[in-house]
Amino acid sequence: MNTTLTRPDLTAADRCDRCGAAAQVRAILPSGGELLFCGHHARKHQERLKELEADLQQGQQPA
């Protein structure tokens, strides 16, 4: 049996790990850890996260 674990969508309660603003991106690291970033910090750290082969997931935009 294959079981896939999914992470919940980002909500207004999820905050950037760098500055505390609303999180827009979840970076899942190969080690299994995760970081949450606002748009500004996601762009700032994007190249390094790609080097680390992090899986970047965009949060849902408010309607």
* Number of domains composing the chain: 1
Side-chain-side CA neighbours of 6 within 13 Å: the count stands at 3
DSSP state for residue 32 in the 8-state scheme = S
In a domain, 4, yes or no: no
In a domain, 5, yes or no: no
More confident residue, 47 or 2: 47
In a domain, 31, yes or no: yes
**For 13-62, how does the pLDDT look when each residue is reduced to its tens digit (9 = 90+)?**
999 999 999 999 999 999 999 999 999 999 999 999 999 999 999 986 55
> Residue 63: pLDDT band by 50, 70, 90 thresholds?
very low
pTM above 0.85, yes or no: no
Which distant-in-sequence residues (6+ apart) come within 8 Å of 44 by Cβ? none
**Amino acid identity of 62?**
P
Residue 5 has pLDDT above 80, yes or no: no
Structural domain span for residue 29: 25-58
